[in-house]
Amino acid sequence: MPQTVTGLVLTYNGERLLDECLRSLDFCDQVLVVDSQSTDRTADIARARGARLDIHAWPGPVAQFRRALGMVTTDWVVSLDQDEMLSPKLRQSVIQALGQERIDPDLAGFYVNRRSFYFNRFMKHSGWYPDRLFRVFRTRSMEVSAQGAHYRFRPLGPAAGLAGDIIHHPYSCFREHMDKINYYAEQAAEEMRGRGARGGLARALVHAKVRFVKLYLLKAGFLDGRAGLINAAFGAFYAFQKYIRVNEARPWTGKGGD
């Protein structure tokens, strides 16, 4: 018989694209939105789209996903971020794959590609594409982990692939990208401090240079035009901030001298 499926979205102040995100999941048997106490229209949009809404303070990505998955009662999950949506081709691929009368019982799920827009184009290089992600999975055949602010799903068994892309609009402007860099760098620095990693100015400069070379040259960011150059510069700044913050022990007081 055809499989049952839940569309799962974790949210926080995601009103910008949430309606489009949820619309791309409207073929699912149910849509579950777990919201981390948004202060914008996120909850209203979720309710208007008929989603099941759970509001819970953010405990970190792993704990929040575990909470969300504990509420899922269907065979399968399609997981999207609040700034993502299924392309028409991927949507049809999911419907076709999960609409089969029989699916290999050992199959943990499906990998999909993610195509992201930055500045003035969808990035084709810079390490941004195909950005293969495990986002369609059996409820109990996935393990979630996190490094810093970034989460990752890992299949607990064999996995296949689906045609089409997740469409991703991560930033609405440069200011938003800078805000994300600030958040991610602080999360990464805290994790590094926790495992005893060393930072400092010299390491920050070296890692910033390496990051720029990797994104702009090794990952062919130069083929993404101005967007590739800007992204590589922001990536270098992120690496610099991460390593320079590791040794930051206390808030600045304004006291002291040269």
| Residue 8 pLDDT greater than 90, yes or no | yes
Model confidence at 252, pLDDT cuts 50, 70, 90, reads low
Task: For residue 105, give the DSSP letter.
Answer: T
Residue 251 is assigned to a structural domain of this protein: no
> For the purposes of burial, counting CB atoms within 10 Å of the CB of 233, is it exposed (0-12), middle (13-18) or buried (19 or more)?
middle
The verdict on residue 19 lying in a domain is yes
Question: In terms of domains, do 211 and 119 share one?
Answer: no
Whether 41 and 139 share a structural domain: yes
Does one domain contain both 31 and 146?
Answer: yes
Mean pLDDT of the chain: 94
Say if residue 157 is in the same domain as residue 81.
yes
- Per-residue model confidence (pLDDT) at position 255: 61
Reported as type and span, the H/E element at residue 66 is helix 61-70
Boundary of a domain, candidates 128, 151, 168: 168
Residue whose pair of structure tokens reads 């759970």 in the numeric block: 54
- What is the domain range of residue 210? 174-245
Residue 83: inside a domain, yes or no? yes
pLDDT tens for 164-182 read 999 999 999 999 999 999 9
Residue pointed to by tokens 């970034």: 150
Find residue 151's DSSP bridge partners: 146
Same-domain pairing of 152 and 211: no
Kindly indicate the confidence band of residue 133, based on its pLDDT and cuts at 50, 70 and 90: very high
* pLDDT beyond 70 at 211: yes
User: Of the candidates 121, 225, 113, which has an alpha carbon nearest to the alpha carbon of residue 164?
Assistant: 113
Whether 13 and 136 share a structural domain: yes
Inform me whether the pLDDT recorded for 159 exceeds 80: yes
* Count of the separate structural domains present in the chain: 2
Q: pTM value?
A: 0.90
DSSP helix/strand/coil, 217: helix
Would the pLDDT of 257 be above 60? no
Q: How confident is the model at residue 1 (pLDDT cuts 50, 70, 90)?
A: very low
Helix (H, G, I), strand (E, B) or coil at 133: strand
Is the per-residue pLDDT at 82 higher than 60?
Answer: yes
Do the Cβ atoms of 34 and 10 come closer than 8 Å? yes
Do 156 and 127 have their domain in common?
yes
Percent of residues, the chain, with pLDDT higher than 70? 95
Domain match, 139 and 195 both: no
- 155 and 64 fall within a common domain: yes
From CA 86, how far away is CA 139, in angstroms rounded?
19
- The last residue of one of the domains, among 147, 168, 189, is 168
pLDDT score at 101: 79
Residue 116 has pLDDT above 80, yes or no: yes
Residue 250: predicted pLDDT: 60
Q: Which residues contact 35 (CB under 8 A, 6 or more apart)?
A: 10, 11, 12, 42, 43, 46, 53, 54, 55, 56
Rounded Cα distance between 62 and 150, Å, is 10
Q: Is residue 256 part of a domain?
A: no
Collapsing DSSP to helix, strand or coil, 52 comes out as strand
Q: Which of 116, 141, 168 is the last residue of a domain?
A: 168
